[in-house]
């Protein structure tokens, strides 16, 4: 078994992978593969209904919100959010905390005025800007809750005079969120919720239909809501594996229980980074992510040998993003604390060997 610290697609629970593998051959004793049954069959409709129910339950999604499973990844939502929520001639506010936020800004500019309320670009996104004003005449404020590449995370959500639109791709279901504080939440599944190929969208119904813009059917949240995420053929396998993963999370005690576990995993790892003279953290301490832990070797010559030691220990996916360098340990929901201790032991062994 490997210790999978990859940033995405990320680790999935082993028992989920086994169940998914079995369903590919014979889905629930039907004698058919999950991949060759109609998406309109009662069997698949039950899967979709269960997945929607789990999202609603685990995330306490209140009434007045629709839950969708769409395709095209979070990157498609960069465009669909303004397409559906930014009125013709209107303005949207954006917080720039990383490359994903910048890409969302780029797409929003196709649809209207974009006001960047604050940016940490000058410091290579090592922190989350805090004291900024949100224009009251904006259609919404868009931000990224967890910056996968830089290891920063919004620890306290902003009180806002306008609806909040949030890209939660890399920390969805990792902690409790008050959905009622948001107008739109979206997340590509492949970091913390399931496999690549499906994107979760949670949208407040009353915000829709106000743009005065014609929106093609597939890009219109309302069409997708009316079609129950089945306006066209949905990504059946990705939805199925997400459903299994959410069931696994529920059995573990849900979001509250995993939030505690994630906090412990992050704490012990950051403690080692701060204690061990061979390594140092990258992100501002108060903004440190509980999902992606970014750190570098104090001595750049130690980069390669540490990666080699990790390789020997079965630690994979730990090389940092090219724009940050160093190391990034992604400690998503499915990564056990035992794997975190294996990494910590490797860091200690490395320090011992090189002192």
Ligand X SMILES: *Cc1c(COP(=O)(O)O)cnc(C)c1O
- Inter-residue contact 219 to 80 (CB < 8 Å): yes
Residue 275 annotated in ligand binding = no
Known binding residue 181? Answer is: no
Residue 248 labeled ligand binder: no
- Where on the chain is the footprint of ligand X (CB under 6 A)? 8, 73-75, 100, 144, 148, 167, 169-170, 188, 191
Q: How far is residue 52's CA from residue 248's CA, in Å, rounded to a whole number?
A: 15
The annotation status of 322 as a binding-site residue, yes or no, is no
Annotated ligand binding at 266? The verdict is: no
Is 71 known to sit in a ligand binding site? Answer: no
190 annotated binding-site participant: yes
Nearer residue to ligand X within complex by CB, 66 or 144: 144
The reply, when asked if residue 167 is annotated as ligand binding, is: yes
Q: How far is CA 326 from CA 270, 271, 278, 279, 304, in A?
A: 15, 18, 12, 10, 9
Which residue number, 169 or 224, has a Cβ lying nearer to ligand X? 169
Q: Shortest approach of ligand X to residue 32 CB, angstroms? A: 29
Any idea which residue has 């119904």 for tokens? 205
Distance CA(111)–CA(113), nearest Å, equals 7
Query: Which CB sits closer to ligand X, 170 or 262?
Result: 170
* 27 versus 327: smaller Cβ distance to ligand X: 327
Cβ 317 to ligand X shortest distance, Å: 14
Residue 74: CB minimum distance to ligand X, A = 4
**Paired sense of beta strands 199-204 and 65-70, if any:** antiparallel
Q: In terms of CB distance, is 306 or 333 closer to ligand X?
A: 333
Residues forming the active site: 100, 167, 191
Q: How far is the CB of 310 from ligand X (least distance, A)?
A: 22
Which of 79/246 has CB closer to ligand X?
79
Minimum separation from the CB atom of position 276 to ligand X (A): 27
Q: How far is the CB of 108 from ligand X (least distance, A)?
A: 14
- Binding positions for pyridoxal 5'-phosphate: 74-75, 100, 148, 167, 190, 232-233
- Binding positions for L-glutamate: 40
């Amino acid at each position: 078994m490997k210790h999978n610290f990859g940033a995405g697609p990320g680790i999935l629970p082993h028992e989920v992978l086994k169940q998914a593998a079995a369903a590919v051959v014979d889905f629930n004793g039907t004698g058919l593969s999950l991949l060759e049954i109609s998406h309109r069959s009662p069997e698949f409709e039950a899967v979709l209904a269960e997945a929607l129910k789990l999202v609603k339950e685990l995330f306490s999604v209140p009434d007045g919100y629709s839950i969708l499973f769409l395709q095209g990844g979070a990157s498609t939502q960069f465009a669909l959010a303004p397409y559906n929520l930014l009125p013709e001639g209107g303005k949207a506010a954006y917080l720039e905390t990383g490359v994903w936020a910048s890409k969302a800004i780029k797409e929003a500019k196709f649809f209207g005025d974009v006001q960047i309320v604050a940016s940490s670009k000058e410091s290579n996104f090592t922190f989350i800007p805090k004291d900024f004003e949100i224009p009251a005449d904006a259609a919404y404020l868009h931000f990224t809750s967890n910056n996968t590449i830089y290891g920063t995370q919004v620890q306290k959500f902003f009180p806002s005079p306008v609806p909040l639109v949030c890209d939660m791709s890399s920390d969805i279901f990792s902690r409790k969120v008050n959905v009622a504080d948001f107008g739109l939440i979206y997340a590509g599944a492949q970091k913390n919720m399931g496999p690549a190929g499906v994107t979760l969208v949670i949208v407040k119904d009353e915000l829709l239909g106000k743009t005065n813009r014609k929106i093609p059917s597939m890009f219109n949240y309302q069409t997708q809501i009316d079609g129950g995420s089945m306006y066209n053929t949905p990504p059946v396998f990705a939805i199925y594996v997400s459903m299994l993963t959410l069931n696994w999370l529920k059995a573990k005690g849900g979001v509250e229980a995993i939030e505690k576990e994630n906090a412990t995993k992050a704490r012990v790892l950051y403690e080692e980074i701060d204690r061990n003279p061979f390594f140092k953290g990258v992100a501002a301490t108060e903004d440190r992510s509980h999902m992606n832990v970014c750190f570098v070797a104090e001595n750049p010559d130690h980069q390669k040998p540490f990666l080699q030691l990790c390789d020997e220990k079965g630690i994979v996916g730990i090389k940092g993003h090219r724009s940050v360098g160093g190391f990034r340990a992604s400690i998503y929901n499915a990564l056990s604390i035992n794997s975190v201790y294996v990494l910590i032991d490797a860091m200690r062994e490395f320090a011992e060997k090189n002192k």
